[in-house]
Amino acid sequence: MNILFLTIGRMESIEERGIYPDLLRYFRDQGDCIYAVSPYERRTGRCTELTEERGAKILHVSIGNITKCGLIEKGISTLRVESKFLAAIKKYFADIKFDLVLYSTPPITFANVIRYIKKRDHAITYLLLKDIFPQNALDLGMLSGGGWKGLIYRYFRAKEKKLYALSDRIGCMSQANADYVLRHNPQLCADKVEVCPNCIEVQDMRLTETERADMRAKYGIPQDKTVFVYGGNLGKPQGIPAIIECLKTQEKNGDCFFLIVGDGTEYGKLEAYVEQAKPDNVRLMKRLPKADYDRLVAACDVGLIFLDHRFTIPNFPSRLLAYMQAGLPVLACTDPNTDIGKVIVDGGFGWWCESNDTDKFKTVITEIREAERKAMGDRALTYLTEHYTAEIGCKIIQNALTPTV
């Protein structure tokens, strides 16, 4: 089977570690041929090119900047991605007949690309829904229901509906995610929407006590404190003001240490807080190479997930998987609409509180200090292998398509 995968996330190789390359490798190892399309943003200075590796071809398409840039530049570049991807596919993959098209959100502006391949090749189309836009932007106040922002919202909402209509199946990250899509898109048939969670090729990333001590020493992290780690994007979806308020409640807690590793549009707010308040138990670090980051996470005690409390859409951040394979229990501070907290609590490997409830946050931190964290971390790894492997994701897609392919 020839599989075309579209993403606006940068992917140099399917040998990388991550939810998409891990899934694609599993398909490849089952004998399928992989064709991926991924961008080179303008800031890289790189031109469109086709690279080949074992069982896969990756078409890198030169586009405008869509990350770490202003909202206007991001919007214009996002709108232009579709035409650039389509032109590149017609040029480089003109003689390839695709059986399956996999694509993720963001963006929602791939409709013309999907329609073209579906009509040309009679391909099956499968949407990996990782982002519900434009509702997420509406939740955070970036768009609105009226005025010129309302016009933008309605434009992208129409794009979203068109993409859903073109998709033979829509794989959602969780049950709450699937329920939301069906509730707010009554035109969709229920059997078109299913749960296809974030999945990885699982590695046991747990460290020995000696390795943990060495990693903490390398990065100047206290050996005798309970270390909470957050790793990933630091943007509006994470609700940085709420994170700061939570950290403020722990400034005098000499038993805990908070390590934040990442980058994003709101990084400066956290940086300003750390520079002004100078908390002894908070360390802010820029993003690390993945191999270094994974080992650093494994040297900590508890993984942190933050989501802005204003979200009405049920997000399910993939960074959860990195904590689980490191054998860490997880504290999720989120809005009440996502079910990630329920999954963590019901699975017995963590805690949940609303991200704007600082009193509850303080209470939970105390509970964590007294919990059997090692046993909970082991349950996290077990839960990962039972629910979130690349094999599971691949089989869900294959099962959904078996009657048609």
Residues 185 and 264 in one domain: no
Residues 46 and 186 in one domain: yes
Token match 């993409």: residue? 163
Residues 143 and 237 in one domain: no
- Rounded distance between C-alpha atoms, residue 25 and residue 33, angstroms: 10
Q: Do the bridges between strand 56-63 and strand 49-53 make them parallel or antiparallel, or are there none, so unpaired?
A: antiparallel
Which token pair is 90?
């017609």
- Is residue 363 scored above 50 in pLDDT? yes
Residues 393 and 382 in one domain: no
Percentage of the chain exceeding pLDDT 70: 99
- Is residue 28 scored above 70 in pLDDT? yes
Q: How confident is the prediction for the chain on average, in pLDDT?
A: 93
Q: How many domains does the chain have?
A: 2
- Is residue 62 scored above 50 in pLDDT? yes
Residues 37 and 67 in one domain: yes
Percentage of the chain exceeding pLDDT 90: 81
Break the chain down into helix, strand, coil percent, rounded to 5.
Answer: 45, 20, 35
Mean pLDDT of 88-114: 93
Instruction: Answer for the pair 311, 335: CB distance below 8 angstroms, yes or no.
Output: yes
Give the strands of the sheet with 256-263, arranged side by side.
Answer: 282-285, 256-263, 226-233, 302-306, 330-334, 350-354
104 phi and psi, to 5 degrees? -120, 155
Residues 120 and 254 in one domain: no
Where in the sequence is the domain holding 122, given as residue range(s)?
2-201+389-401
pTM of the complete model: 0.92
Band of residue 65 on the pLDDT scale cut at 50, 70, 90: confident
- Rounded distance between C-alpha atoms, residue 58 and residue 49, angstroms: 8
- Look at the chain and count its residues: 405
Residues 116 and 55 in one domain: yes
Residues 134 and 261 in one domain: no
Instruction: Answer for the pair 111, 118: CB distance below 8 angstroms, yes or no.
Output: no
Determine the Cα angle at 387 with ends 383 and 390, to 5°: 120
Which CATH number do you get for residue 237? 3.40.50.2000
Mean pLDDT of 341-345: 97
Band of residue 405 on the pLDDT scale cut at 50, 70, 90: very low
Residues 98 and 17 in one domain: yes
Residues 247 and 345 in one domain: yes
Residues 379 and 394 in one domain: no
**pLDDT at residue number 404:** 44
Which token pair is 365?
């931190």
Residues 346 and 397 in one domain: no
Q: Do the bridges between strand 169-172 and strand 124-129 make them parallel or antiparallel, or are there none, so unpaired?
A: parallel
Mean pLDDT of 34-63: 91
Band of residue 72 on the pLDDT scale cut at 50, 70, 90: confident
- Segments of 264-371 assigned E as strands: 282-285, 302-306, 330-334, 350-354
- Is residue 241 scored above 80 in pLDDT? yes
- Is residue 403 scored above 60 in pLDDT? no
Which token pair is 223?
């050996």
